[in-house]
């Protein structure tokens, strides 16, 4: 099983990218869906950017910034980005599978925002160097490329 886990870890991004391209080709965006979906996806990207500026992966527990509000701001940001892209491209039929997976996930994991953050003695500040080290700029470039593709598809 660990062998499959290693393989899955290596192919998850390329496989997801390929599947994403196929889904993008099947979408039918409009100006209105691009606006609303784009705003939601951008909010998700901003949340991921904010979170990546506060996390030192494998070095320290992140408890400040968005981590003071939710334990998983990167996942929440990804969720919002994916939902925004589906709405932007009017890929509503994809929400069925996406929603089912989320329902399974939400049955196992507590809510994103369980309550107000408690005061903390630890302080962490946002650093652009962390954003780059966490390679979050790639996420933003991918989202921008996706949105540009959907805009071109809607216009042409």
Digit-coded pLDDT (tens) for 37-85: 999 999 999 999 999 999 988 888 888 899 989 889 999 999 999 899 9
- d(C-alpha 153, C-alpha 156), whole Å: 5
Residue 29 in tokens: 């965006």
Nearest 10 degrees: Cα torsion 80, 137, 18, 85: 30
Domain count, the chain: 1
Digit-coded pLDDT (tens) for 94-148: 777 667 666 776 676 666 555 444 455 566 788 899 889 888 888 889 899 999 9
- d(C-alpha 87, C-alpha 32), whole Å: 10
Going 129 to 46 to 81 to 75, the CA torsion angle's sign is: positive
pLDDT at 150: 92
Q: Residue 20 pLDDT more than 70?
A: yes
Residue 137 lies in a domain: yes
Residue 20 lies in a domain: no
Q: What residue numbers bound the domain in which 84 lies?
A: 28-108+126-155
- d(C-alpha 21, C-alpha 60), whole Å: 35
């Amino acid at each position: 099983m660990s062998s499959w886990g290693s393989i899955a870890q290596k192919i998850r991004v390329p496989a997801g990218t390929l599947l994403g391209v196929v889904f993008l080709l099947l979408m039918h965006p409009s100006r209105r869906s691009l606006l609303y979906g784009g705003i939601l996806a951008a909010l998700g990207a901003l949340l991921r950017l904010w979170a990546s500026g506060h996390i030192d992966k494998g070095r320290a527990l992140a408890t400040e910034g968005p981590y003071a509000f939710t334990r998983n701001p990167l996942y929440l940001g990804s969720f919002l980005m994916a939902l925004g892209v589906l709405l932007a491209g009017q890929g509503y039929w994809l929400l069925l599978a996406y929603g089912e997976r989320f329902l399974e996930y939400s049955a196992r994991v507590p809510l994103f925002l369980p309550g107000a953050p408690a005061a903390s003695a630890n302080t962490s500040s946002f650093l652009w160097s962390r954003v780059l080290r966490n390679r979050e700029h790639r996420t933003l470039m991918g989202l921008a490329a996706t949105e540009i593709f959907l805009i071109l598809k809607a216009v042409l």
